[in-house]
């Protein structure tokens, strides 16, 4: 079985990343606001056997599909998001966070009957000890889905690639998925999908379908065999995608291309500090590399380097162009 890490030179990586300022990415999916509360936990509450955290830091960041967008602009490309937020203070904060990074929110749909999805994490210094969520994960209405599809068709006309990021929060219903497929076909641009279980088999014709190992096993109700080329090809055909990119956690990735090539991309992570957001980083880099003219294997290798950097950082974060080129240089010995 061929290994893919020697398929990307430093010069080629630089060429792909240098194209980023000319690339416009449309990200469609479940937008979230991440809130972090951090402080010292020096005693146990007298009310219950839980630590008392004295908060001395609080900050906000983009989560879910919005974090994919943050990764896109961190690498120098342009990005527009399409999804729903609530007509609430958190929706205003999410919109402000997008604006602060230069991410267009022309595709946002504000709803007065649905809260903005917010995940709040409580940290005792570096250790997360609790998380609480505010959300409504019911399907958006048919009328709201129609508005989203209209935005997608309009925004895709000037996009170079569509990223579909599903977190099972009710935005990516069948009509919206079909709208993404139709837009990608009409404007002849790649559609890169990070799926969740509910509509796993609805993304036929996706340029790239990127589940992780547990997601794929659960959807197929069978054990996945990422090192078996015949199994990977059979699964790719069953899913109806052009390229199947299966992420394997600390074992890297397995790729089956539409040309029948099966390659393994071994992990390059030196240490795993926090896996939060690694999938968002991978899908963003794959989309950028393909839009820049990279091959599927080049996109997978570059994304694998990005994931190796991301998991070495605390929390949901992004990867810069300089970090990514340094990682490729280190691996290639340049």
Q: How far is CA 122 from the centre of its chain?
A: 23
Enumerate the active-site residues. Answer: 280
Residue 103, exposed/middle/buried by CB under 10 A (0-12, 13-18, 19+)? buried
Q: What is the dihedral of CA 156, 157, 161, 162, to 10 degrees?
A: 10
Residue 214, exposed/middle/buried by CB under 10 A (0-12, 13-18, 19+)? exposed
- Phi and psi at residue 176, to the nearest 5°: -70, -40
Contact 331, 19 (CB under 8 A): no
Query: How many angstroms separate the CA atoms of 70 and 149, rounded?
Result: 22
Q: How far is CA 45 from the centre of its chain?
A: 37
Q: What number of H helices and E strands is found in the chain?
A: 10, 13
Query: What pairs with residue 111 in β-bridges?
Result: 86
Tokens of 310: 């991301």
Query: How many angstroms separate the CA atoms of 23 and 10, rounded?
Result: 20
């Amino acid at each position: 079985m061929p290994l893919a890490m020697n398929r990307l030179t430093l010069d080629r990586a630089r060429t792909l990343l240098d194209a980023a300022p000319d690339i416009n990415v449309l990200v469609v999916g479940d937008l979230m606001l991440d809130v972090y509360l951090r402080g010292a936990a020096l005693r146990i509450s007298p009310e219950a056997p839980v630590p008392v955290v004295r908060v001395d830091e609080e900050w906000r960041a983009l989560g879910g599909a919005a974090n994919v967008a943050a990764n896109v602009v961190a690498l120098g490309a342009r990005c527009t998001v399409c999804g729903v937020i609530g007509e609430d203070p958190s929706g205003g904060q999410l919109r402000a966070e997008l604006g602060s990074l230069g991410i267009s929110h022309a595709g946002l749909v504000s709803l007065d009957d649905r809260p903005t999805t917010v995940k709040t994490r409580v940290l005792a210094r570096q250790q997360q000890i609790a998380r609480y969520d505010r959300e409504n994960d019911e399907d958006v209405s048919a009328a709201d889905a129609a508005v989203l599809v209209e935005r997608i068709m309009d925004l895709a006309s000037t996009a170079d690639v569509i990223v579909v990021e599903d977190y099972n929060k009710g935005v990516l219903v069948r009509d919206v998925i079909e709208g993404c497929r139709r837009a990608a076909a009409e404007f002849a641009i790649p559609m890169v999908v990070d799926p969740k279980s509910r509509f796993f088999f609805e993304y036929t014709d996706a340029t790239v379908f990127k589940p992780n190992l547990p997601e794929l096993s659960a959807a197929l109700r069978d054990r996945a065999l990422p090192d078996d080329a015949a199994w990977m090809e059979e699964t790719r055909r069953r899913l109806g995608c052009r390229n199947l990119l299966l992420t394997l956690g600390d074992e890297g990735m397995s790729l089956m291309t539409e040309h029948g090539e099966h390659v393994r991309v071994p992990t390059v992570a030196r240490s795993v500090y926090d896996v939060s957001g690694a999938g968002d980083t991978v899908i963003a880099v794959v989309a950028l590399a393909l839009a820049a003219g990279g091959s599927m294997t080049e996109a997978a290798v570059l994304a694998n380097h990005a994931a190796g950097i991301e998991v070495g950082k605390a929390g949901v974060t992004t990867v810069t162009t300089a970090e990514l080129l340094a990682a490729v240089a280190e691996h290639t010995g340049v």
